[in-house]
Amino acid sequence: MDSKIDDLMYQSGLTASGCWDQMDSYDKEAIEKFGKLIINECITVIENLSPGYKDYRDQIENAFRVDCIEEIKQHFFR
């Protein structure tokens, strides 16, 4: 499991108090997949942002979006 997703699951209470131990592997995989899907939806929102400047600022914004996407991927999926 990705360590950041694992940390967030712990903070939400999913892995505390034996809750995680009572789940079967299907439930655990479904919860982890749900977290990854949310992260990927956020990445898609960033990818689709367009300020519409139509000049050099558009290139700067695009470079920033690409950097943000890479940082998010590294943060959650390393």
What tens-digit pLDDT sequence spans the chain (78 residues)? 567 887 888 888 877 666 777 788 888 888 889 989 999 999 999 988 877 778 888 888 889 999 999 999 999 887
Q: Whole-number mean pLDDT of the chain? A: 85
Quick one: pLDDT at residue 11?
A: 86
Quick one: pLDDT at residue 26?
A: 83
The alpha carbon of residue 31 and the mean position of all alpha carbons in its chain are separated, in whole angstroms, by: 13
Element (H, E) at 22: helix 19-22
Domain count, the chain: 1
Give me the domain span that covers residue 39. Answer: 3-77
Would you call 69 exposed, middle or buried from its count of C-beta atoms within 10 A (0-12, 13-18, 19+)? Answer: middle
Quick one: pLDDT at residue 16?
A: 66
pTM of the complete model: 0.76
